[in-house]
Structure 1
Amino acid sequence: MYDIFGKRLPKFPPKYYLAMTESMAEERRVTLEQYLQGVVSDSVISGSDVFITGLKKFQLETFKLPCIKVVLKVYLPDGRQVNVDSKTSDSAERVLEAALYTLNVSRELVEYFGLFITHKDSEGAYSVVKKIAPFEIPFITIWHINDDSYQIDIRKWYTTPTTDAMLMGCGGAIDLLYAQAVQELEMNWSRPTEQQTEMLKELIKAENKVKFLETMQQVEHYSYQKLNPGVTDYPNCNTVATVSMGNNEMYCSLQTSDNRTEIISVHVSKMTRCHVPLHQPEKTMDQQECKLCLIDGQVPKFISILTKQQPENTMDQQECKLCFIDGQVPKLISIRTKQAFLLSKWIKKMLSEQPLPCVKENLEIQDNITSSNILSRNPKKIDVACGIKDPIYTSLRECDSSDLYDDNQ
């Protein structure tokens, strides 16, 4: 890779040729983590064919799986199953394209959908666990989990509800949007009024999918991604927190021990950092933690949210740190959850969908169009870094190290 990308690659951490002490081993682990995060945060490198091919080879060699033909089960939000003829080595991008082709979704609309790992517990509660990265191998991901309560779902991959309009000319896409909208309505992820509820029920009964989706545009929290309930230390200990993300905001409902409800709503343009540490040896709780930085007047606040892990879960726990600005002082929130990577990705996806004139007011845009883009699968992709005066709160990137070091890699 150095021959191809040269000085674009971060400097590789030096090796220790003698026996390492515990502190030396920890230091090297941290520097290697920083190196890998730097590599994957560069959209030119992470989007190149040589990088993706190398990762696929690494996954196959790690799990020692032969390249053979398989039928991969992919599910829709309404429970329907699509059997995709594929190989054990096929990437998520390839599997998604094949599944959408079967569903008569136009090839030009593939970018609006993604493959997700979802979970349904013994009581039927549904949750989205993570998004499968385009270069990830879905067969290995679901095989490694080895739990029938997990499956691969096709879901839309955008956060702005008005984007639905761009897909309304394709019948296959309408079917997918309708199935997901009905599912989220039934799970109470969206919050219609009583009048809207009655109207939506009539439209479902009449199977008027287009009118149903048009009506959903007016429903509060339509197209939001909702996380499992958790626990936070803000505003006080043992506060129950429910986080939802969508339509350019993070919405957090806090239920305190004295039964008071407090709402935190933060626009994505105020967010400055989102980070998931790769190694957390001191975390022993059966949860993942995500840290957020917020601002309250002139005083910074650190908030830790612990979300409950599904029982007998085989997936690793991770911490997600989020920072956002309100005024001149940062607030910090830390969430520990099995959905940490999903939270991180969703926030960065919201940022990437911001209109350019709006983004310019708060962000510095750096276009990475160089000669190296010849090797990139996405040459027009840009890195987005926040233009905050304080250097501590910088660089919220769309490309995340969680793509490499996710729950099942």
Structure 2
Amino acid sequence: MKMHFCIPVSQQRSDALGGRYVLYSVYLDGFLFCRVRYSQLHDWNEQLRRVFGNCLPPFPPKYYLAMTTAMADERRNQLEQYLQNVTMDPNVLRSDVFVEFLKLAQLNTFDITPKKAYLDIFLPNEESINIEIITSDTAERVLEVASHKIGLCRELLGYFGLFLIRFGKEGKLSVVKKLADFELPYASLGSSEVEHCKVGLRKWYMDPSLDSTLMDCRAALDLLYMQAIQDIEKEWAKPTQAQRQKLEAFQKEDNQTKFLELAREVQHYGYLQLDPCTCDYPEPGSGVVLSVGNNEISCCITLPDSQTQDVIFQMSRVKCWQVTFLGTLLDMDGPQRTFNQNLELRFQYSEDSCWQWFVIYTKQAFLLSSCLKKMISEKMVKLAAKNPEMALSPGSSAGVQSQLTATSASQVKAILPTSVS
């Protein structure tokens, strides 16, 4: 499954000898991940090829003469596609060559020295555990350390993930992004321009029935219980009055199993809710609150007369989706050359035997896309379990496609088809 890598901007720099080179700003899930030169990526590709051979995607060729603007734009687009395509192979994604290069790129970009540090990991009850890490530890490693401290069974780590979470005013909670396994939480937390961000531990699956797999582990049961309570308190999950009364009774008895059994019957249990945003349905500029989970996108749309309309889009009827990365360059001549982004996700949906595009304008478009991918992958795992012949090879298509489109203020544009598998 491809990662949401994007290179919306690049900048020419001078080296110590007076020469010129291009520094590429690599974004992951809409956030600055690192800045690298072509030569660094070229050397990395050579290292990967020594390990994995010709199964890697093509790498943009060297130019021995000065590049025109069109050539520079083409190389940026090609590097962007390379970064996305190289993540399709899970063996590459987990390799030391892949991870170590990206670790070093993050450390250099944000001027971080590997050293001992302490990091607070926030649990779903908003309490935290303090763990000792190295600043160069990946999210995968930090998750292992945190799970060991709370007694979470190692074989269940794949059901959980680390997230950047914003705690806003009046107790509002916003999931900013899911940290990739190879991402450095220390670097991502320190470099995030989102205020009041913390690293949080949450379950990472969209199918509520998967809860049953975790119930025999005490620490996993505690995490599910805490998150269910939090989701209800934040009104992400919406119990009826009768359900709420029973849930409160189970909570007073500290009967976690009964609580979770009933919670799974609650509307939007286990769904991830996005911040309020806008969409183009039923008309442009309509306000909407999206909840994603259990193979559907649930939308509570505010109509012009202030009435609300609930609309549900089933994933089985989604043909493809596309994230569009639109932004404005800031500090054009400054050393950082930052990028102010606006995002949209549009998806093609079958309604009454007709395909129609729906557009959602949200800064959490990459997170929403990750949730859609997660639902597709979980569905394919279920199908493969029922019919082994349905099992997918690492690069095969699951029948649904996503696209990533990047557009900067300088009108640089790349359209990247991404098969979801």
Please state whether the residue corresponding to 1:353 is helix, strand or coil. Answer: helix
What corresponds to 1:347 in structure 2?
372
Choose from 12, 15, 18 the match for 2:59: 12
Please state whether the residue corresponding to 1:303 is helix, strand or coil. Answer: strand
Please state whether the residue corresponding to 1:295 is helix, strand or coil. Answer: strand
**Deviations 1:251-293 (CA, angstroms, capped at 9, x unpaired):** 1222222345444323323334345456755899764222222
What corresponds to 2:130 in structure 1?
83
Taking structure 1 as the reference length, the TM-score comes to 0.78
CA distance in 1, matches of 2:340, 2:350: 28
The 5-angstrom pairing of residues 9-408 of structure 1 reads: 9-145=56-192, 149-276=196-323, 280=327, 287-297=342-352, 299-307=354-362, 337=363, 339-354=364-379, 356=381, 358=383, 367-368=392-393, 382-387=394-399, 396-397=419-420
Please state whether the residue corresponding to 2:169 is helix, strand or coil. Answer: coil
CA contact 1:272–1:386 (8 Å) conserved in 2? no
Taking structure 2 as the reference length, the TM-score comes to 0.76
CA contact 2:125–2:230 (8 Å) conserved in 1? yes
CA distance in 2, matches of 1:142, 1:182: 26
**Deviations 1:28-85 (CA, angstroms, capped at 9, x unpaired):** 2222211221112232322323211221122222223211111111010111111111
Q: Residues 393 and 300 of structure 1: is their aligned pair in 2 closer, same or farther, counting only changes over 3 Å?
A: farther
CA contact 1:239–1:256 (8 Å) conserved in 2? yes
AA aligned to 1:113 is: F
1:393 CA displacement: 12
Aligned residues: CA RMSD:
3.0
Identity %: 39
Deviates more, 1:154-163 or 1:269-278: 269-278
The structure carrying a bigger strand percent of its residues is 2
AA aligned to 1:305 is: I
1:238 CA displacement: 1.6
CA contact 1:252–1:264 (8 Å) conserved in 2? yes
Q: Residues 81 and 253 of structure 1: is their aligned pair in 2 closer, same or farther, counting only changes over 3 Å?
A: same
CA contact 2:116–2:134 (8 Å) conserved in 1? yes
1:216 CA displacement: 0.4
Please state whether the residue corresponding to 1:223 is helix, strand or coil. Answer: coil
Unpaired segments ≥5 residues, structure 2: 1-47, 331-338, 402-414
1:212 CA displacement: 0.7
User: Number of paired residues?
Assistant: 352
Unpaired segments ≥5 residues, structure 1: 308-336, 369-381, 399-409
AA aligned to 1:98 is: V
Please state whether the residue corresponding to 1:242 is helix, strand or coil. Answer: strand
Please state whether the residue corresponding to 2:247 is helix, strand or coil. Answer: helix
Query: Greater RCO between the two (CA within 8 Å, min separation 6)?
Result: 1
